[in-house]
Amino acid sequence: MQADKMWQAALGELQIQVSKANYNTWLKDSRGIDYDNGVFTVAVPSAFIAEWLKGRLYSVVCRILSTITGRITEVVFQVQAVNRDPAPGRNRLMPDGGISVKERSAASRTTGFNTKFTFDTYVSGDCNLLPYTASLEIAENPGGVFNPLFIYGSTGTGKTHLLHAIGQAARSKGLNILYMSVEQFTNEFIIAIRNKKAEEFRNKFNRVDILLLDDIQFLSGKNQTQECIFHIINDLLADNRQIVISCDRPPREIESLNVRLRSRLEGGLVADIYPPDHKTRLAILDLKSSLLQTKFDDNILNFLATNFHGSVRVLEGALIRLSTYSRMNNTTLDVNAVKAFLNDFIAASRQSSGNYTTTAVINAVADYFAVPPDDITGKKRDLKTSRARHIVMYLLRQQNHTNLAEIGRVLGNRDHSTVIHGYDRIALNIGSDSQLSKSIEDIRLMLKSRRSS
């Protein structure tokens, strides 16, 4: 059986096992192109789709293909080049060396990127897969599918890292990049108005291929600056140039935000980053340890991953603190010494943690779906209750990093495999089901408001 026929058979099975939205988004345009020595190659149209399938559906695809081929099969998702016509109005070099349309003078390229913030030093996991893979795609094909890209998440989860990684990867291809914090944008805009050079200020954005705006939440209440950014974004989108924005909250939660600007920010891909799970935290520690050229015992790394889970920045800070102490004292640390040395750091981290009690999560989900909490923890299995229960499993695992056994215990002594199934049902669909994504976002906002009240 040829590879394309095998893959069509696999797609038939996948249509049954995944939602229609997921199938149309991630699988519809894929093709089986090769099968050799137990390795099956699937062609997909973008790096974004390849990363998503590898992270979310790899085991399912392997199992289905193994059944079809009659042997254990590994899968490789290979990106096939897609011919893209030059975006209308953009200036591109012609094959004969001439310049199309009109030559756009080079914008001053940002030199303020943190050279440590690259894709090679970014650890991806379930907590950040969507914004990470979208960022990879943008660095390769700016102005394409995800425009604008709006990345939001709590402090220290890697938003700025992704902006710098996009900027440095795209700049290496000769593109004009402009990276600014919104505070910097506001200050420059105010100075331009005072000097009667507002038009000149806006014109400099016409010379960039990718605009990276960091911490846009600080636009709250700045009406003139919002109006200026709205028109700049409009101009860039009309010319198919890329915009990437970071924030600590979704667009609709930014106070006093211009309705037209909010609509523009929500018009592309809105992707959130959660605090990393235990496995991702261990991967981060392993990478950062190698960069620091410091080797720690696995028990120490596991201790750090267990006790610092709210912020990547805090996690890295604890590792750097240990590394510095170990080098200065020329000593090898054990877990007990680490506990004593980081005691105050751990206490501060726990105080600022974004975790919620199990009861709070269950009650918030119960209120959102208008079902009794006892039904969620009980045996009821209608569609509405099951959906609510699966979201509780997802939030307890993703937000609180609660272990599977504990989640099963509080939800009526359910088996850990049941918890995995419930978690996967939500994790698999959250990227393509806008209503599900909105529901989870609303529940998180509900939890936050109840904590602060």
pLDDT for residue 386 is more than 80: yes
- Tokens 């936050």, residue located: 448
| CATH 3.40.50.300 domain residues, the chain | 119-273
Q: What is the mean pLDDT of the chain?
A: 82
| Residues 226/189, Cβ–Cβ less than 8 Å | no
Residue with more model confidence, 275 or 391? 391
Q: Has domain 119-273 been given CATH number 3.40.50.970?
A: no
| CATH 3.30.300.180 domain residues, the chain | 3-79
Strands ordered across the beta sheet of 177-181: 177-181, 210-214, 242-247, 149-153, 269-273
Angle at 315 between CA 327 and CA 219, to 5 degrees: 130
Q: Has domain 358-452 been given CATH number 3.30.830.10?
A: no
Among 115-124, 350-359, 386-395, where is mean pLDDT lowest?
A: 350-359
CA dist 215 and 119 (Å) reads 20
Q: How many CB atoms lie within 10 A of CB 140?
A: 15
pLDDT at res. 114: 85
CA dist 237 and 233 (Å) reads 6
Q: Give me the CATH code for the 3-79 domain, please.
A: 3.30.300.180
The structure tokens listed for 64 are 């289905």
Q: Which amino acid is at 3?
A: A
CATH classification of 278-351, choosing from 3.40.50.10420, 1.10.8.60, 1.10.3720.10, 3.40.640.10? Answer: 1.10.8.60
| CATH 1.10.8.60 domain residues, the chain | 278-351
pLDDT for residue 387 is more than 90: yes
pLDDT at res. 96: 33
- Region 215-243: what's the mean pLDDT? 90
pLDDT at res. 104: 39
Q: What is the pTM for the complete model shown? A: 0.62
| Residues 401/278, Cβ–Cβ less than 8 Å | yes
pLDDT at res. 452: 61
3-class secondary structure per residue, the chain: CCHHHHHHHHHHHHHHHCCHHHHHHHHCCCEEEEEECCEEEEEECCHHHHHHHHHHCHHHHHHHHHHHHCCCCEEEEEECCCCCCCCCCCCCECCCCCECCCCCCCCCCCCCCCCCCCHHHCCCCCCCHHHHHHHHHHHHCCCCCCCCEEEEECCCCCHHHHHHHHHHHHHCCCCCEEEEEHHHHHHHHHHHHHCCCHHHHHHHHHHCCEEEEECHHHHCCCHHHHHHHHHHHHHHHHCCCEEEEEECCCHHHCCCCCHHHHHHHCCCEEEEECCCCHHHHHHHHHHHHHHHCCCCCHHHHHHHHHHCCCCHHHHHHHHHHHHHHHHHHCCCCCHHHHHHHCHHHHHHHHHCCCCCCHHHHHHHHHHHHCCCHHHHHCCCCCHHHHHHHHHHHHHHHHCCCCCHHHHHHHCCCCCHHHHHHHHHHHHHHCCCCHHHHHHHHHHHHHHHHHHHC
pLDDT at res. 86: 41
Residues 6+ apart with CB under 8 A from 129: 51, 52, 55, 56
Q: Is there a cis peptide before residue 148, judged by omega within 30 degrees of 0?
A: yes
- Region 251-256: what's the mean pLDDT? 86
Burial class (CB in 10 A: 0-12, 13-18, 19+), 388: buried
| CATH 1.10.1750.10 domain residues, the chain | 358-452
The structure tokens listed for 152 are 């939001």
pLDDT for residue 87 is more than 60: no
CA dist 362 and 402 (Å) reads 13
User: In this predicted model, what pLDDT tens digit does every residue of 308-360 receive, in sequence order?
Assistant: 766 788 888 888 888 877 777 777 788 888 888 887 777 666 555 556 889 99
